[in-house]
Amino acid sequence: MVTAPNLPLGTLPYRPVDADNHYYETRDAFTRYIDPAFADRTFQVHTDPDGVDRMSIDHRPYVFSPAKFDRTNPPGSLLESLRDPANCASFNAMVKARIAEVGVHGGSTSTPPHCDFRTVEYTTGDHMVGKGKWESTRGLGLAFGYNAAEATDDYMTGPQLLDLYREVTAGGGNLLINVGPRADASIPDVQRAPLLALGAALRA
């Protein structure tokens, strides 16, 4: 965090690091609510005259990966597509063929050299049981963060979260649930309810 508003532009005392490269956000996600004193220095997207999106931080080019705002699907779009039986069958066939070709983890049968836990997303991790330490992670909805446009029906209920917890832990795994606060740091009721229900069940 920059704590000196009078620091000249272009002289941040550190290199910004993007740890995950998920471009689910809108183009103004980083500038919409930021303190105006820092607005010129945060992550921004500019479109060149040739129509190519360019990213910058503190007026310096950000070149870790190319901009993909025009090609990345929004959170939940895959699941929405898979509600169509034909799309679901095609997707499952593709996944099974890939697993048959290279295995579940790209053909690797050993733990990577720099890890302690293997992690699966949005699944119970049945294929990880008995293969070392692992965890299953997901958001309470279809995205890891808060999405104001997400339908209430897309969020887990208390019983669903409890069932997931029991299934994952029964297989020796940890369950990591991502909670996405609003911009004011409050937790939406649709996320609080299943968390409170899980907490009550664990305390009983």
The pLDDT, as a whole number, for residue 188 is 92
pTM confidence score: 0.53
The pLDDT, as a whole number, for residue 175 is 93
Residue 70 has pLDDT above 90, yes or no: no
Percentage with pLDDT > 70 across the chain: 71
Distance of CA 81 to the CA centre of its chain: 18
Residue 53 has pLDDT above 80, yes or no: no
DSSP 109-178: -S--TT-S-EEEESS--GGGTTSSSEEEEEESSSSSS--TTS-GGGSPPHHHHHHHHHHHHHTT-EEEEE
DSSP state of 73: P
Non-local (6+) Cβ contacts of 139 within 8 A are 145, 177, 178, 179, 180
Non-local (6+) Cβ contacts of 51 within 8 A are none
DSSP state of 26: -
Residue 115 has pLDDT above 80, yes or no: no
Average pLDDT of the chain to the nearest whole number: 76
* 148 HSE (CA, 13 A, CB side): 7
| DSSP H or E segment with residue 90 | helix 85-102
pLDDT in tens, 123-151: 777 777 887 888 899 999 888 888 887 88
Residue 186 has pLDDT above 70, yes or no: yes
pLDDT band at 3 (very low <50, low <70, confident <90, very high): very low
Strand 53-57 relative to strand 60-61, pairing: antiparallel
pLDDT in tens, 71-105: 445 555 666 777 788 877 887 788 777 767 765 55
Closest CA to 198 of 173, 170, 161: 161
Over residues 177-189, mean pLDDT: 89
